[in-house]
Amino acid sequence: MFMVKKKIAILGSTGSIGTQTLDVVRNNPERFEVYAICAHRNVNLLIEQAREFKPEVVCIADENLYPQLRDALADLDMKVWAGMDSIVEMVTFPSIDIVVAAMVGYAGLRPTMAAIKAAKTIALANKETLVVAGELICDLAQQYHAPILPVDSEHSAIFQSIVGEGNNEIEKILLTASGGPFRNFSLEQMANVTAADALKHPNWDMGAKITIDSASMMNKGFEVIEAKWLFGVPAEKIQVLVHPQSIVHSAVQFTDGAVKAQLGAPDMRLPIQYALTYPDRITSNFPRVDLFAIKDLLFEQPDMNRFPNLRLAYEATAKGGNIPCVLNAANEVVNLAFRENRCGFLQMSEIIAQTMAQATFVPQPTYDDYVNTDAEARQIAMNLLLK
């Protein structure tokens, strides 16, 4: 049977989600075609990907690396671009069906907005886009009829649990968290952990930034905010459960008391593939869950005294306006500082809280307000790091 291939653009093709998206494409060449790829600075891997998949457009965000990219691909018939403006233009190409938004952090906001305005289907892995500007993104998606399909394993699980439920009311979202490498650490122990310690995630293979966020539970705080916007459920109805086995990826409780959950092995390729093939499910060779081999499925209350970032995320979404943008900007600054040994693990939360208290509050922000807020919050956080 003849099958029209879906043409895919991958924002952040050299990162963890990007490379696993390419695995899905590799396994299903009859279904998918890589039309455009971009990366921030990993030019060598981007060159390898371009030579393997031969997309129409290849783009590097860091313009200083453009000559190397251009020269390495000079023998191939493809557009080779550089800079954020080029990435924004790239996602609007008429041939593209799906944009996998997998750039890390605030940088993903502008190209994701451009893809939405071009009415593309968005496979969203960049949770910061909804953390920073959830209301704006949701309004644009509705205005331009651009579907947003979640790629995060937790939000994919929630989405899979509500498919077919129509307008049935959600009573509670049960958002699971692994607990990270420091789940059983005391505050005294966490005061001395290093970035190398935090990067040893017990279950998931992720990029450095998100792995640190997982260790501090900021990632889970971001996911609470993301779930609020994706599923229209207020944050007070989103309950975080620490589930160290990472088998139940999340669940939904309905008003009749029924709970639906999605289970699976901790492998990001499954939610990526589901986002690319929705509403269909296709055969895969991904690992299967052996329920007989699972001795326990534990669920614990998160400790917001030891992991205050989760509390800060709830506070940010309760206050609203531009404060989640402040939260994200400050976190990006301290996350990088921790990875570079310029900040302690516990100090990250302190600086984020102080930045939230000092930043200018804008109750109904525009896109320009988000840009200004991001810059202001970063400066405040950087100044606090120097004290």
> What pLDDT score does 161 carry?
98
**How many angstroms separate the CA atoms of 322 and 303, rounded?**
26
Given a cut of 90, is residue 295 above it in pLDDT? no
**How many angstroms separate the CA atoms of 184 and 285, rounded?**
34
Residues 6+ apart with CB under 8 A from 276: 6, 8, 21, 24, 31, 32, 98, 100, 123
Per-residue pLDDT tens digits for 297-309? 999 999 999 999 9
Q: Which helix (H) or strand (E) is 373 found in, with range? A: helix 367-385
**Domains of the chain and CATH, by start:** 6-150 (3.40.50.720), 155-266+296-307 (no CATH), 320-387 (1.10.1740.10)
Given a cut of 80, is residue 144 above it in pLDDT? yes
Task: Determine the distance from the C-alpha atom of residue 155 to the mean position of all C-alpha atoms in its chain, rounded to a whole number.
Answer: 10
In a 3-state reduction of DSSP, which class is residue 84?
helix
> What pLDDT score does 120 carry?
98
> What pLDDT score does 205 carry?
65
Per-residue pLDDT tens digits for 249-286? 999 999 999 999 999 999 999 999 999 999 999 999 99
**How many angstroms separate the CA atoms of 111 and 37, rounded?**
13
Q: Which of 97, 86, 92, 82 is nearest to 113 (CA)?
A: 92
Kindly state the tokens that stand for 145: 């009829």
In a 3-state reduction of DSSP, which class is residue 251?
strand
**How many angstroms separate the CA atoms of 193 and 246, rounded?**
23
Label residue 149 by pLDDT band (50, 70, 90).
very high
Judge contact between 109 and 129, C-beta under 8 A: yes
Residues 6+ apart with CB under 8 A from 301: 241, 242
Q: Which of 326, 315, 314, 309 is nearest to 362 (CA)?
A: 326
**How many angstroms separate the CA atoms of 145 and 127, rounded?**
20
Judge contact between 201 and 179, C-beta under 8 A: no
**How many angstroms separate the CA atoms of 24 and 281, rounded?**
13
Q: Which residues make beta-bridge pairs with 176?
A: 241
Given a cut of 60, is residue 1 above it in pLDDT? no
In a 3-state reduction of DSSP, which class is residue 222?
helix
The size of the chain, in residues, is 387
Q: Which residues make beta-bridge pairs with 7?
A: 33
> What pLDDT score does 3 carry?
75
**How many angstroms separate the CA atoms of 197 and 211, rounded?**
11
Per-residue pLDDT tens digits for 26-56? 999 999 999 999 999 999 999 999 999 999 9
Q: What is the largest CA-CA distance in the chain?
A: 65
Q: Which helix (H) or strand (E) is 171 found in, with range? A: strand 170-177
Rg (CA), the chain: 20
Judge contact between 271 and 19, C-beta under 8 A: no
Kindly state the tokens that stand for 173: 């979202």
Entry pTM: 0.94
Q: What are residue 79's phi and psi, to 5 degrees?
A: -80, 130
Given a cut of 90, is residue 204 above it in pLDDT? no
